């Protein structure tokens, strides 16, 4: 799968320093708000993810303070958000953060990788602004923020690399269950969980759940071999099924990324599309929502 463009639209030119600092300060404030929201939103892997998000919040607060100070020195006043243009590029989109915070599979590495992407986006953005500016002072200020974003990206890459090394060491030492399982085995285990889950639902809900499908069905699991979960076990079965379904989606997406020929690519993309649809269906059933 190809990475989405860092910027989907070309930024509009910035014509004055007050407008420049308003944009820069606004972006830093939005980053603080969005990373802060993730601190309380990351309930799945809170202990692992929250310290990283808190670090990012701290970094963005320092950035916002530095921008405000520079604005006072250059313009004689604090950033005036009334100077903002109609459309301001969001360098740290909330949806990207929510996708990470909501995932049961997210790790510190994933958060650091997202932060690297955000600083890469900032570098591209400020490079555009520097090139488009007709005002030399704006161009010079934009170049400074572009260099800062580049330096920040290098620091964040180091954190990303350390997180990757730590997580792979932990996986190797701990032999973490599902993460090391083959897709075929995960599909079989997921099917067993879905069958058990379906026995606790109404006929309509059960049909909706089972229609999500398993990509490698195993007919050697007789229905009588599946026990109905006890009330205290049902939530565990549901969460385990969701986790396995998400893991399988990632496996198939990784297979598509590493495909070496068109046939393998198309097959992996088909599996990935099916597994993503299945995951959405399972989440809908878990939340009690109808799926169309």
Domains of the chain: 17-174 (1.20.1260.10), 180-287 (no CATH)
Mean pLDDT of 192-206: 78
Q: Output the average pLDDT for the chain.
A: 80
Query: Does residue 165 register a pLDDT over 90?
Result: no
**Tokens linked to 76:** 């004689």
Contact 265, 256 (CB under 8 A): yes
Band of residue 212 on the pLDDT scale cut at 50, 70, 90: low
Q: What is the pLDDT of residue 93?
A: 92
Query: Does residue 292 register a pLDDT over 50?
Result: no
Neighbours of 87 (CB within 10 A): 9
* Residue 289 or residue 101, greater confidence: 101
Mind listing the pLDDT tens digit for each residue in 122-131?
A: 998 998 888 8
Query: Does residue 172 register a pLDDT over 50?
Result: no
Q: What is the pLDDT of residue 208?
A: 66
**Tokens linked to 144:** 């400074």
Mean pLDDT of 36-59: 81
Mean pLDDT of 156-163: 86
């Amino acid at each position: 799968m190809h990475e989405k463009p860092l910027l989907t639209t070309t930024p509009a030119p910035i014509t004055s320093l007050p407008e420049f600092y308003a944009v820069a300060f606004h972006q830093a404030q939005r980053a603080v708000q969005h990373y802060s929201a993730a601190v309380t939103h990351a309930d799945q892997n809170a202990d692992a993810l929250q310290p990283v998000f808190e670090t990012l919040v701290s970094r963005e607060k320092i950035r916002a303070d530095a921008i405000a100070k520079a604005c006072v020195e250059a313009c004689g006043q604090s950033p005036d958000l009334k100077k903002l243009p109609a459309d301001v590029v969001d360098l740290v989109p909330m949806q990207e953060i929510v996708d990470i915070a909501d995932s049961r599979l997210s790790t510190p590495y994933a958060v650091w990788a997202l932060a690297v992407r955000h600083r890469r986006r900032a570098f591209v953005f400020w490079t555009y602004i520097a090139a488009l500016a007709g005002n030399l002072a704006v161009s010079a200020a934009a170049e400074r923020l572009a260099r800062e974003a580049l330096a920040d990206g290098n620091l964040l890459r180091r954190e990303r690399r350390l997180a990757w090394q730590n997580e792979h060491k932990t996986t190797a030492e701990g032999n973490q269950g599902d993460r090391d399982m083959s897709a075929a085995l995960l599909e079989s285990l997921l099917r067993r969980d879905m069958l058990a889950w379906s026995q606790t639902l109404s006929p309509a809900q059960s049909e909706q759940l089972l229609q999500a499908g398993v990509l490698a069905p195993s007919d050697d699991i007789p229905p009588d071999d599946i026990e109905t979960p006890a009330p205290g076990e049902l939530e565990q079965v549901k969460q385990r099924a969701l986790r396995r379904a998400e893991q399988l989606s990632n496996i198939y997406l990784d297979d598509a990324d590493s495909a070496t020929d068109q046939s393998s690519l198309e097959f992996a993309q088909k599996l990935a599309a099916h597994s993503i649809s299945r995951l959405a269906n399972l989440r809908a059933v878990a939340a009690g929502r109808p799926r169309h």
